[in-house]
Amino acid sequence: MKRFRVEPGSKVDLRKFKPDSTKGFKGGKKEAERLIPDLCKRLDAVQEAMWAEHKHRVLIVLQGIDTSGKDGTIRHVFQNVNPLGVRAVGFRVPTEEEREHDFLWRVHSKVPGAGEIVIFNRSHYEQLLPVRVLKLEPPEVWHRHFDQINDFERLLAETGTTVLKFFLHISKEEQKRRLQDRLDDPAKQWKFRKGDLVDRAHWDEYMKAYEDILGRTSQKWAPWYVVPSDKKWFRNLLVAKVLVETMEDLGIQSPQAEEDLKGIVID
């Protein structure tokens, strides 16, 4: 897992991260599909204990270019968990009310409460992506967002939230294939939007923006992982493994049973 974790303060060059890589994993797709259900069962167990203990909080941030697999990651990694205590939150274009506040206002109310896992499908990092690439804010404004986000995530960590951030890294060629698949399949056409092509035309600018985000906001209290995502099975395996092992290391304990239960008989 460490080879995919971005060290704080490092300069990131995404060309060095191969989107189709499975480096460190000796098996193939069949082996991954054998391992993932076990990881999902472990996640279910630790999540149930966390909800019962009602002490820890976990925030998962999923970012990536269109078609990188944010929805698919949520669907596969969290397939076994009890919906009680788990929420997925998607961030779309800000509403009029949200635009009347600072950009973190709409985000802070969605972070996990005690015992919860919350998955952000896109996140506060959108304020460092389209606003920069499409020039919706001047540089002197969006440059300040780096420090503001670091401070926000430090606040979450210092008040009991474990923050894990995953950049789902796909190649431009794989995105083309996935977009074409959506366009060709009537059952998937609802996923396709013309705006995807506008963003695709700015591929290099988006990759540069992500490099800056990864290098400047991966912190020990809120690390980024670059997840090779051309192979969906490896994406799911890596995210599940990082999440499960991180949560198991939190020392979560199910609460003790009530006293004096010995001898109780259920009629």
- Give per-residue pLDDT as tens, 87-114: 999 998 889 999 999 999 999 999 999 9
Q: What pLDDT, on the 0 to 100 scale, is given for residue 134?
A: 93
- Give per-residue pLDDT as tens, 10-23: 999 999 999 999 98
- Give per-residue pLDDT as tens, 111-154: 999 999 999 999 999 999 999 999 999 999 999 999 999 999 99
Q: What pLDDT, on the 0 to 100 scale, is given for residue 266?
A: 80
Given 1.10.10.60, 3.40.50.300, 3.30.540.10, 3.40.50.10190, which CATH number is that of 2-248? 3.40.50.300
Q: Is the pLDDT of residue 213 over 80?
A: yes
- Give per-residue pLDDT as tens, 71-88: 999 999 998 898 889 999
Domain boundaries, the chain: 2-248
In 10 A of CB 104, how many CB atoms?
Answer: 15
Q: pTM of whole model > 0.85?
A: yes
Q: What pLDDT, on the 0 to 100 scale, is given for residue 84?
A: 87
